[in-house]
Structure 1
Amino acid sequence: MTAYAIGLLEDLQFGPDIVSYLQRIDATLAPYGGEFLVHGTRPELREGSFGGDCVVIAFPSMEQARAWYDSDAYAPLIPLRTQHSRSTVFLLEGVKELPYRAAGLLDKLGVAA
């Protein structure tokens, strides 16, 4: 099942460390099948507040996403980003089958539709 690494970055201070991060991250993704779906895009907000950039990276599985984030290749890049931005990063699994119907969650939760 596809998994995603989501990054929400605010107050990015663009400089040499961020340049290095951007130059090096692609090579860390390749062994884990990671591909950018969204990179450095400002959302069009409809609810809530967020004033930064979004990143979405797809992986073939949650195991691959975890292995990438925890890898020796990616570890040295994390401080390059975290020391120059406020960031929230999380991993999440996608839905198992497409098309997905939201009401399917009711079955999973044991709630009568």
Structure 2
Amino acid sequence: MSAYVVFTREETTDPDELAQYAEKAPKARPGHDLTPLAFYGDFEVLEGNPMEGAVILRFPDKAAARAWYDSPAYQDAMKHRQKGSKYRVFIIDGLPE
């Protein structure tokens, strides 16, 4: 069953740190089966708190999503995301096919 990692950026606090994240995060993709489904495209908040943007990544399953998230390359990038912004990030299972 597919799994999705969803990022919502709620606030940028340090643009320089966020720029470092944007440079490093793509280096975590090689060796991981992920498909970007949405990547900071045009959006409209219908309910809830405002946000600056969102990303949705599809993985074959939750274990693959965790393997990418926990990888040394992504963990190195993530520290810059956390220093430069406020995000909500979660993994959710997809529906059975």
Q: TM-score, normalised by structure 2?
A: 0.85
1:29 to partner: Cα distance: 2.0
Please say if residues 14 and 84 of structure 2, whose CA atoms lie closer than 8 Å, have aligned partners that are also in contact: yes
Using the TM superposition, name which of 46-55 and 1-10 deviates more: 46-55
| Structure 1: runs of 5 or more not aligned | 98-113
Describe how 1:11-26 pairs up with structure 2 within 5 A: 11-13=11-13, 15-26=15-26
Computing the radius of gyration over CA atoms, which structure comes out larger, 1 or 2?
A: 1
Q: Which is bigger in relative contact order (C-alpha 8 A, separation at least 6)?
A: 2
Aligned length: 97
Using the TM superposition, name which of 69-78 and 28-37 deviates more: 28-37
Q: TM-score, normalised by structure 1?
A: 0.75
Please say if residues 38 and 54 of structure 1, whose CA atoms lie closer than 8 Å, have aligned partners that are also in contact: yes
Please say if residues 11 and 86 of structure 1, whose CA atoms lie closer than 8 Å, have aligned partners that are also in contact: yes
| Structure 2: runs of 5 or more not aligned | none
Deviations 1:77-97 (A, max 9, x none): 111001111111111111111
Please say if residues 5 and 58 of structure 2, whose CA atoms lie closer than 8 Å, have aligned partners that are also in contact: yes
Aligned match of 2:58: 58
1:23 to partner: Cα distance: 2.0
Distance (Å, rounded) in 1 between the aligned partners of 2:5 and 2:49:
21
Aligned match of 2:89: 89
CA RMSD, aligned part only? 1.7
Distance (Å, rounded) in 1 between the aligned partners of 2:32 and 2:59:
7
Describe how 1:1-113 pairs up with structure 2 within 5 A: 1-13=1-13, 15-41=15-41, 43-97=43-97
More strand by share: 2
| Partner secondary structure for residue 11 of structure 1 | strand
